[in-house]
Amino acid sequence: MKLTPKRIVAALALVATGAAHADPLTVIKGGATFQGSGTLSFSAELLGALDTGKIVTTNYGAVTSSITKDSEGYYSEISVSAPMQTLTLDDTSLAVLGVGTKGGMTLTAPVLRSVSSGGSLTVTDINADLTSKTIYATIIGGNGVGTINNFALWNFATITGTTSYTGPGTYVNDMSGLTLTADGFAKFSQSLGLLSLGKSAMSGITDYGTIHSVLHTTLVLTPDVPEPTTYALMSLGLLGIAFTARRKAA
C-alpha cells in the first residue's frame, strides 16, 4: 500500500477523532506507525510585547505548557506542546510536506490605557506547510473576529533537522524565524483590541519564536498489493498466452 499524502491525512484525521485528548496520536499506515508532537516556544520579543499589554496566557485543548515569570512578574519563558494530529508525506521520497497539531493557547488582554481596549485571541490546531513555509491555524478572536479555520498566521524563515524518514527512529526538526502575515497582524490587533502602544509593541516583533517538531516512527512499509482490477488483467493476460500457445500447437 502506498503512503500517498491523501491517505496519510485521512488516516490521521480518523484516528484523531477517536483519540482521547490527553493521549498522543498514533497512526498505523502501510505497516508504519507514526507518533509525534510539536512545541511552540515564544521569542523574547513576543514575551516583551505580552508584558507590555499585561496579556494573560492559558492552555486551550489537549496541550501542556511551561510558563515562567521572573521575580518582578515579567514573562521569562512560554512554551506550549501539542500532540500531532495530521501528517502529510510524499509517497515516493517520504519527505514531510506538512504536519499539524491539536490544541493551542488563549491570549487575554485587559483594558489598558493606550495599549488595549480589551479582548482575546485563541490560536489552536496549528498546521505547518513545509513547502510554502507557512503556518496555518484556527483562530478564535474577540471584537468581531470570530472563528477562522485554516488561517495563514505566520511564515517561518528556516527549517533545520530531518524531514525525510529512512528507517525506524526518532526524528526532530525546528521551524524558526516565525513572522506574522499582514492579515495575521490585523487579526491579532483586532482580537486583542490593541491601541497605539499595543500595536507599536506588536509591530516591533521581528521573530515570534520556534516550533520544535518530534516524530517517532517504526517506518516498516509493506509491499504494494495489486488491486482486484490488476489481478483481473493479469488473469486475462495468462489466458491469452495459453490460447495463443494452443493455436500454435494445433
pLDDT digits (tens, 9 = 90+) for 18-71: 333 334 455 555 566 778 889 999 999 999 999 999 999 999 998 999 999 999
- What is the chain's mean pLDDT, rounded? 81
Distances (CA, A) of 122 to 68, 100, 148, 154: 20, 16, 11, 14
Is residue 195 within 8 A of residue 115, CB to CB? The reply is yes
- Model's pTM, two decimal places? 0.76
Distances (CA, A) of 79 to 57, 87, 208, 230, 247: 11, 22, 12, 51, 76
Higher pLDDT, 123 or 165: 123
Confidence of residue 14 (pLDDT cuts 50, 70, 90): very low
Res. 247: pLDDT tops 80: no
Distance (Å, rounded) from C-alpha 250 to C-alpha 245? 9
> Can you say whether residue 193 is alpha, beta or left, with left for phi > 0 and alpha for psi between -120 and 50 degrees?
left
Q: Report the pLDDT value the prediction gives residue 25, as an integer from 0 to 100.
A: 54
In which element (H, E) is residue 123 found? Answer: strand 116-129
Is residue 8 within 8 A of residue 215, CB to CB? The reply is no
Is residue 83 within 8 A of residue 137, CB to CB? The reply is no
pLDDT digits (tens, 9 = 90+) for 179-213: 999 999 999 999 999 999 999 999 999 999 999 99
DSSP 70-84: -TTS-EEEEEEEEEE
In the chain, the percentage of residues whose pLDDT exceeds 70 is 74
Distance (Å, rounded) from C-alpha 207 to C-alpha 229? 53
Is residue 173 within 8 A of residue 127, CB to CB? The reply is no
Q: Report the pLDDT value the prediction gives residue 109, as an integer from 0 to 100.
A: 97
